[in-house]
A and B are shown apart, each in its own frame.
Chain A
Amino acid sequence: MILQGLWQGLENSALGQYVAASSWAFPTIETVHVIAIVTVVGSIAVMDLRLLGVASKESAVTEMSRDTLPWTWGAFVIAMISGALLFVSKATTYMVNPFFLWKMVLIAIAGVNMGIFHLFTWRTVHNWDRSPEIPRGAKIAGGVSLGFWVIVVFVARAIGFTLDKFAS
């Protein structure tokens, strides 16, 4: 495991020890994490389905983006903070869990997908904002996003079932 000392240090920190030892902290933070991720996936799916041309076709793409993106980002920040708190309580266990590592990689790829979409495809959005013809780039971005978030939820759920399997 790379940076083993770092993960061990996080786990031994006062915060990590507190979350691990408290009877209410882990479940409570986990609940916040679940509500946040549900909001991320729910709001991102609304936007992705618009990009795919499946739903909300009567609304402008820019309007859908304005209506959903602040909630997606707000919830994502809450998911990251709550996720970090859960992580420090069992850092070494998570770092050897392949599903956790996959989850991080998949979220990073979903982020890159979003970045590429905003840097390139989004530039021409005013040409197809209300058009029934959605450019292929936008459809691919929407489909990739939807697919990756579905898999993220699966690997995230798998972590909880496999923690003991990989821990030494």
Chain B
Amino acid sequence: MSLGDLIYNLGEWLRTTPANELALAIQKTWLSNLIDSNFWVIPTIQTIHILAIAAVFGSVVMINLRIFQMAGRSRTMSQTVRRYLPWVWWSLLVLLLTGIGMTIGEPVRELTNPVFWIKMVLILIGIAVSLWFQSSVRRNVAMWELTHNGRVAIRVGAGAVIAMWCLIMVCGRWIAYAPT
């Protein structure tokens, strides 16, 4: 079974779940109508959403470059995390709010969309990894400072985190092209 078939079948299944009724119920609300009937609301929310992604991704890249010893070498790992991680959390809040706004405006397009749910799962993993990373830096900052001596697992992990945020963006763009 190809990836396309898998996504198609996932979409077919989604339409048999309560997500379908939920989407239709949201669509009937005044707020959904308000968002959907004003031409510039969705593009504006999407713009804020993209700018917040830029803040998250820029911050994650800067932290990971520090892990790779490719940037911010004058700063300690703790200082780097204090500089960038709050931007990740606040931007994620903006992403959540704008994401909710887009979902209320176009509930069927999102909630019965297989790519949307794949994206949600990836985001939960991304948040879990970020929480774990934050507590790990607080508990054992020395481990994160030693990467240039060749902690392969940390390097692979940092690369995987960047790849995962890219995959989340891929899903974000492909929500519009998913077979529905």
Contacts and interface: CB of A to CB of B under 8 A. Distances in A.
Interface of A: 27, 30-31, 34-35, 37-39, 41-43, 45-46, 55-56, 58-60, 63, 66-68, 71, 150, 153-154, 157-158, 160-161
Contacts of B79: 58
* Chain A residues touching B, majority SS: helix
B37 to A, nearest CB: 14
B53 A27 contact: no
Contact of A59 (B43, B47, B74): B74
Nearest to A47: B58
A154 B44 contact: yes
Given A42-B55, A45-B54, 13 more contacts: A27-B176, A38-B50, A39-B61, A41-B51, A45-B58, A46-B59, A58-B79, A60-B74, A63-B74, A67-B71, A153-B47, A157-B47, A160-B43
B169 A38 contact: yes
Chain B: number of interface residues, binned into ranges: 20 to 34
B174 to A, nearest CB: 6
B74 to A, nearest CB: 6
Looking at B59, B70, B173, which has the most chain A CB atoms within 10 Å of its CB? B173
B174 A27 contact: yes
B2 to A, nearest CB: 12
Contacts of B42: 161
25 contacts: A27-B174, A31-B169, A31-B174, A35-B166, A35-B170, A37-B50, A37-B54, A38-B50, A38-B53, A38-B54, A39-B61, A41-B58, A42-B58, A42-B59, A45-B54, A56-B83, A58-B75, A59-B75, A63-B72, A67-B71, A153-B54, A154-B47, A157-B43, A160-B43, A161-B42
